[in-house]
Structure 1
Amino acid sequence: MTTHHKTFLAPPFVATMALGALWPSPGWNAKHGFPEFSFIWRDYRISKDALGVLQRLAGRDDDTTTDRLLLLAPHVTGFRLTMTMLMHPQWPLPIWRALQLRNRLIRRGEIKVAYPSDLIVRAIAWRVHDKGIELDIHAQLLQGDDCPWESITTFYYRGRFQPLFSRGPAEGASAMSPVVDPTLAPMARWTIDGGRRLRFAGLTGDYNPLHLLDAYARRTGFAAASAHPQRIVAQCLGHIADADAPAQQLELWLKGPVYFGRDVTLRACRSPHGDDFALWLDGDERPALVGRLSSAI
């Protein structure tokens, strides 16, 4: 198994990431699995400007909304470190085959804004199924001696890989998402604004043209360019800021693209496990996004 440790003293450079993605991937080897990489971003900070972008997307900057957005902020602004790892030349599968599937974002203490921190990402588990591989990436935010935030992002690589096996415990969001009744009265309705696409791509480090260019997206079989999932989640959190559950954990299930220019409907309900919500593109029977806010860790 390949071991690689890399430290960044500044935000990983997007052009360098792209060069890594163009390098031929070594291919999946069941004996080796995914590399034991640990990538560290020193002096990582959640900037006030980045938090302001999320607040504008949410349409609110009150304390409750900001508290929820702080669960999302490290996932947004630290995502480029995960992207850097998935684009490394020694990574066995190419980035364009990776689909972000689920997120589990956990808050364990006070998350400080504009505070010099360390962000660490590594692959912790994977599961080989008959139609693809699920990969769990663990991220940790270290602020001084504390780890106030961590996340597990589950990616999916379509394809047939052998043999079928698992490595490591599945600690991310459950494979089964909550069910929100589509007949519930809408909590909110809005149109997905397509402005400032490049600005949000700069926050995440994800410059996939599927999120930027309508013409490119249509040529690849999609109806239009689709928003980064984190961008849509910020909007949802603005509408459910009055939910009762403390913002200690946010779980997300990404079901499909949310296209710019489309009307969407948000519905929410209380369950024994927390405040569940789901977002539908108008005209679709299946939600594009499902989430759960809870106090459980």
Structure 2
Amino acid sequence: MTAHHETYLKSPSLPAMGLGALWPSAGWNSREGFPTFSFIWRDYQISTDLISALRRLAGRDDEVTTERLQLLAPHVSGFRLTLAMLMHPDWPLPVWQALQLRNRLIRNGAIKVAYPSDLIARATAWRVHDKGIELDIHAQLLQDDDCPWESVTTFYYRGRFAPPLNYGPLEGATAVSPSVNPDLAPVAHWTVDGDHRLRFARLTGDCNPLHLIDAYARRTGFAAASAHPQRIAAQCLGHLTLSQPPRQLDLWLKGPVYYNRGVTLRQTHSAEGEEFALWVDGDERAAMVGRLS
């Protein structure tokens, strides 16, 4: 495996990331696998403006909801570092083939807001299946000598990649999501607001036009532009019934959540935590499933 280490002293530049994504990809080499990348963002901070924006999306600003949103916040603004890795010219597969599949967000201690921190992202594991590759990106938030937050984001590249190759342990959310009964009484129903799409795209660094432009999304086979998963997760966290601040949030991303469409949220309790699922009105399959534990 090739190795590459990069340090950012400020937020990775969107234009530079876009240029990297346009560079021809080398393609999958089963002997090499994914490269050993270690990307570091020095002086990364969870801004108070970000927390305020997530509170507005959640529609609540009570203490428990804020604790939940602090678990999500580094996955919003810190997602740019992961994208910088996937859009690097030396990355073997193009970023537009990468589908965000699952998230595991872990809180290990008190997360400080507006505090100079280091954010580190690494490609840690992958699994070759019959019809694609699952890739795990491990991110860690370092504040002084502590690591109060970490995440594992699993991406999926469709295609056939031979011979089969597994590397690294499965440390993210499990492949099988919880099952939430669609006949449960709804916790909430709302219409996904289509405003401020570009503003949220800049927060995450994910400026994929599928999240921004309805006409583009329709030309590629979708019903309309769809919201970023982090945006929908913030709304779900605001509508769930109150509970103790969670230590872990697992998310399974099943399908697009279109702007200006109604959605229905249902919640249940299991021995593993509070489980929830979100349906786009008219769809039988949940678009997002989650577990707070």
TM-score range, shorter chain: over 0.9
Q: Which residue of 2 aligns with 1:259?
A: 258
Aligned partner letter, 1:177: S
Aligned runs of 1:14-29 on 2, under 5 Å? Answer: 14-29=14-29
TM-score (norm 1): 0.98
Distance 1:276 1:241 in 2: 11
Distance 2:14 2:79 in 1: 12
Distance 1:204 1:213 in 2: 17
CA contact under 8 A between 2:223 and 2:258: conserved in structure 1? yes
Deviations 1:125-144 (A, max 9, x none): 00000000000000000000
Distance 1:205 1:48 in 2: 18
User: Deviation of residue 247 (structure 1)?
Assistant: 1.1
Q: Which residue of 1 aligns with 2:158?
A: 158
Aligned partner letter, 1:204: T
Distance 1:66 1:77 in 2: 16
Query: Is 1:53 matched with 2:53?
Result: yes
Distance 2:178 2:210 in 1: 27
Deviations 1:106-137 (A, max 9, x none): 00000000000000000000000000000000
Distance 2:114 2:107 in 1: 17
Deviations 1:21-55 (A, max 9, x none): 00000100000000000000000000000110000
Distance 1:184 1:164 in 2: 41
What are the ranges of 5 or more consecutive residues in structure 1 without an aligned counterpart? Answer: none
User: Deviation of residue 2 (structure 1)?
Assistant: 1.1
Aligned runs of 1:95-174 on 2, under 5 Å? Answer: 95-174=95-174
Q: Which residue of 1 aligns with 2:179?
A: 179
Q: Which residue of 2 aligns with 1:247?
A: 246
Distance 1:100 1:235 in 2: 18
Q: Which residue of 1 aligns with 2:215?
A: 215
Q: Which residue of 1 aligns with 2:192?
A: 192
Distance 1:219 1:245 in 2: 44
Distance 1:74 1:123 in 2: 17
Q: CA RMSD in A?
A: 0.6
SS at 1:65's partner residue? Answer: helix
Aligned partner letter, 1:175: A
CA contact under 8 A between 1:266 and 1:277: conserved in structure 2? yes
CA contact under 8 A between 2:64 and 2:244: conserved in structure 1? no
Distance 2:272 2:183 in 1: 21
CA contact under 8 A between 1:245 and 1:275: conserved in structure 2? no
Distance 2:157 2:250 in 1: 20
Aligned partner letter, 1:200: F
Q: Which residue of 1 aligns with 2:281?
A: 282
Aligned runs of 1:58-97 on 2, under 5 Å? Answer: 58-97=58-97
Say how many residue pairs are matched.
293
Residue identity over aligned pairs, in percent, reads 73
CA contact under 8 A between 2:251 and 2:291: conserved in structure 1? yes
Query: Is 1:291 matched with 2:283?
Result: no
User: Deviation of residue 241 (structure 1)?
Assistant: 4.7
Distance 1:210 1:42 in 2: 30
CA contact under 8 A between 1:64 and 1:241: conserved in structure 2? no
Distance 1:156 1:245 in 2: 32
Distance 1:114 1:246 in 2: 20
Aligned partner letter, 1:218: R
Distance 1:200 1:287 in 2: 23
CA contact under 8 A between 1:65 and 1:241: conserved in structure 2? no
